[in-house]
A and B are shown apart, each in its own frame.
Chain A
């Protein structure tokens, strides 16, 4: 079935189709309409899930984790400050090897207040031990959320999974979305599997003190599981194509006109489509450039990336996120993966709007720089007239 729906509605539908048992909910823009939709579905009797209206994001993950370890499929969603407030529990979920799913509709982090799109909230959890995918359309948000339950509950993985999508740009924008049937999803998602269940029958306990060696081995095993989850994700992705024949999840990340390209652009999320249009235009002008869209931050698809980008004369990485003092996180990851020259462009923060013209401008300029071997490693790009950056903290005078 097809429907014109927003990214948040798509996620709520995915949660319904996955027959989730417990949902911990707490409002924060721009994620809120996901949980509102779930509460409505509950009222209409369309989901049997227990919807728990908690008093903070810390507790939203607490409820979700408590339900997950006690044997049911569990879900929550958040953004920005909410994710940061939840941070401790995000790590606790991964350390507990609890299969569960969270969607993050991304948003800038304060101070100062800013509710618009930026991916820094999502990216700041990349060390926490979760599987992390990022959508580029409402369709992908739905597909990845359904797949997330399967990946997370696969015995070769047994880790929580986070699906990101650009706040407002995807969360609130309606597009044509293909919704798989309940029968297909039921077949795709086997009954819940998890490493242990806390109930009187199993007699298992989790999380008391571990000695240094044993603790380190547990961290190591999470690392290994994330690494080896690549094959699992590709396998599950191929299987998902039965549910949505138009989808392509054979690979973790997505290539566009890359094979014969000398130069490559790297993006993540919704603006990839604008960047693709810029690539098309540059191609028409005879510039040999292609695009690489990162869909998975964890696992990091080192082999796929080396094959796709290892021999390029220059790679331009766009980050809608920062690792302040070091540029953008995607740029840092890329630089640690390939030997080709890599330039990082930080832009689009706090809702700064970046269009295909901006991509066209930055990409063509950067390719020139690569040609003359004079590229700046990290550039902060402002669209339009704002070319100068005032340093120091702006504040209103008293």
Chain B
């Protein structure tokens, strides 16, 4: 489907946010607005986006937002959509949370809400560390990445939320990247029309934690997909679709070299040969599992 982004106006993001230059979360937020229109309310858990909104009582997000404690996003959204239903409102409820709020502290309430199949979209903006507090490692930080709490480079692999969420048997699970707006917007639009729990994880490369030039956010977000570090996939009612941008990843031979992704980023500066192989193994594992899903 072709889509002229410029024609898609939405009030999701007003001018004057407090985001850093080159912020991938702002990119994602703009795409949410383009995809979902105006009949949306948001629950935002602790993270960069609590700050990006600017100083209260004003707010740079055009959507009504309930900001809430780190671990409570999914629970608050569960209460919200039920209240809105009781008031006969056909509103899309969206939880917006970072990877820390999703993979770590918020995982219990996320898992609970998914198991109950609550009717909202959960959007995880994954910048692979606790960026708002200065870039500490999270469960979603990849192997080898230097963060402010893993100065030696993280020794463990990234927690695979995609598969964890698939095991909750929810109607919709997808991954996307801010490098591919059309793909994300398509997925959000499809998700909007599905009832029940919808989980979308968007890769949001952060110049300040990943250590690349802020002008290259979109480029890094694309490279993550091209090198198959990050899959673009959608599982809708058990139907698995790999986006065109990711189809080449299904075969190892056609993948772009992973170095093209890692070499741009300062966070991989301590990456030994062994660490690099570990990362490559992670990519193999990811696509092995995805291939099995497609069988």
Chain A interfacial positions (CB closer than 8 Å to B): 21-22, 24, 50, 52-56, 58-72, 74, 88-89, 92, 96, 198-200, 202-211, 214
Contact = CB atoms under 8 A, between A and B. Distances in A.
Nearest to A204: B64
A46 to B, nearest CB: 17
A62 B55 contact: no
Contacts of A24: 75, 79
14 contacts: A21-B83, A52-B82, A54-B116, A55-B112, A55-B115, A66-B79, A70-B80, A71-B83, A88-B72, A92-B68, A198-B80, A199-B64, A200-B41, A200-B64
A70 B75 contact: no
Given A54-B75, A59-B72, A208 B65 contact: yes
Given A58-B71, A59-B72, A208-B54, A70 B43 contact: no
B89 A209 contact: no
A124 to B, nearest CB: 18
B56 A58 contact: no
Contacts of A72: 82-83, 86-87
Contacts of A200: 38-41, 63-64, 89, 91
Contact of B108 (A55, A63, A65, A207): A55
A56 B109 contact: yes
| Most B Cβ at <10 Å: residue of A53, A56, A199, A202 | A199
B50 A62 contact: no
Contact of B65 (A55, A71, A74, A205): A205
A96 B56 CA distance: 13
Given A22-B83, A72-B86, A214-B56, A208 B68 contact: no
Contacts of A55: 108-109, 111-112, 115
Nearest to B78: A63
Interface of B: 38-41, 43, 50-51, 53-57, 59, 61, 63-69, 71-80, 82-87, 89, 91, 108-109, 111-113, 115-116
B55 A52 contact: no
Contact of B66 (A21, A52, A207): A207
Nearest to B77: A66
A342 B142 CA distance: 61
Contacts of B75: 24, 54, 58-63, 66
Nearest to B50: A208
B73 to A, nearest CB: 8
| Most B Cβ at <10 Å: residue of A60, A67, A70, A198 | A70
B65 A206 contact: yes
Contacts of A211: 55
A68 B78 CA distance: 11
Q: Lowest 10 A-B CB distances belong to which pairs?
A: A62-B75, A66-B79, A55-B112, A207-B67, A66-B76, A67-B79, A59-B75, A70-B83, A63-B79, A62-B72
B105 to A, nearest CB: 10
Contact of B41 (A21, A61, A70, A210): A70
Contacts of A206: 65-67
| Most A Cβ at <10 Å: residue of B55, B65, B84, B116 | B84
Given A59-B75, A74-B79, A209 B41 contact: no
Nearest to B59: A205
Contact of A210 (B56, B68, B115): B56
Contacts of A205: 53, 56, 59, 61, 63-67
Given A198-B41, A210-B55, A69 B72 contact: no
Given A208-B59, A210-B56, A50 B86 contact: yes
Contacts of B57: 210, 214
Contacts of B77: 66
A62 B108 CA distance: 12
B101 to A, nearest CB: 13
A105 B270 CA distance: 54
Nearest to A100: B79
Contacts of B68: 62, 65-66, 92, 207
Contact of B74 (A53, A59, A69, A203): A59
Nearest to A74: B79
A71 B91 CA distance: 13
A52 B67 contact: no
Contacts of B64: 198-200, 202-205
Nearest to A202: B64
Contact of A54 (B69, B78, B83, B86): B78
B97 to A, nearest CB: 13
Given A199-B89, A200-B91, 20 more contacts: A24-B79, A54-B109, A55-B115, A59-B78, A59-B112, A61-B72, A66-B43, A66-B75, A66-B79, A67-B83, A71-B83, A202-B64, A203-B64, A204-B64, A206-B65, A207-B65, A208-B50, A209-B53, A209-B56, A210-B55
A2 to B, nearest CB: 32
A386 to B, nearest CB: 41
A345 B255 CA distance: 74
B83 A92 contact: no
Contacts of B87: 70-72, 199
Contacts of A56: 108-109, 112
Contacts of B113: 59
Contacts of A54: 75, 78, 109, 112, 116
Contacts of B86: 21-22, 50, 72
Nearest to A96: B66
Contacts of A65: 68, 72, 76, 79
B47 to A, nearest CB: 12
Contact of A66 (B51, B80, B111, B116): B80
A202 B91 CA distance: 13
A208 B78 contact: no
